[in-house]
Amino acid sequence: MRSLRSSSRDYYGGALMILIGMGAVLGGVRYRIGTLSNMGPGFFPAAVGALLALIGLAIALTARLSPGEESARISPDWRGWGCIIGGILAFVVLGQYGGLVPATFAIVFISALGDRTNSVWQAFLLAGAMVAMSIVVFWWALQLQLPLFAWGR
């Protein structure tokens, strides 16, 4: 099984953050940027993308400059990857056909199971708390047009 050193993981992660940040900057400058007192629609994506690229650069530089530990090998956590990707897919499907409550519960519950230290009960409690918070924030406070339950549509 192939594994990555901790420092090379940081290096590649920083490089990926730089690429994503620069993509956000390029997407943001296609809109009007504006000024600090009169921000345009492209200001926020460009600013967040620039910050993300700078943080990625800092991570990549620290990984590049730090002495690498050749003996410390870290193998990918396939369970974590699978649960996070599965949670996102469940959110997409349930968001379309089930509504906010089942979609939020599914993404948090499935993703929490990717952490080997979480039990099913802990993942259930975390998902329930996040559902309550998402109802308050997205449905009540922000009044998003995503129904709580959409089974009958």
The domain segmentation of the chain, as residue ranges, is 4-74, 78-141
Query: pTM above 0.85?
Result: no
**If pLDDT is split at 50, 70 and 90, which confidence band does 2 have?**
very low
**Whole-number pLDDT of residue 141:** 87
**DSSP assigned state of 4:** E
pLDDT digits (tens, 9 = 90+) for 88-128: 999 999 998 999 999 999 999 999 999 989 999 999 999 99
The pLDDT tens digits for 35-58 are 888 888 888 899 999 999 999 999
- Residue 120 exposed, middle or buried by CB count within 10 Å (0-12, 13-18, 19+): exposed
Write out the H or E segment, with its range, that includes residue 5: strand 4-5
Q: Residue 3: what pLDDT?
A: 45
Burial of 143 (0-12, 13-18, 19+ CB in 10 A): exposed
pLDDT attached to residue 60: 87
- DSSP string across 10-58: HHHHHHHHHHHHHHHHHHHTTS--B-SSSB-TTHHHHHHHHHHHHHHHH
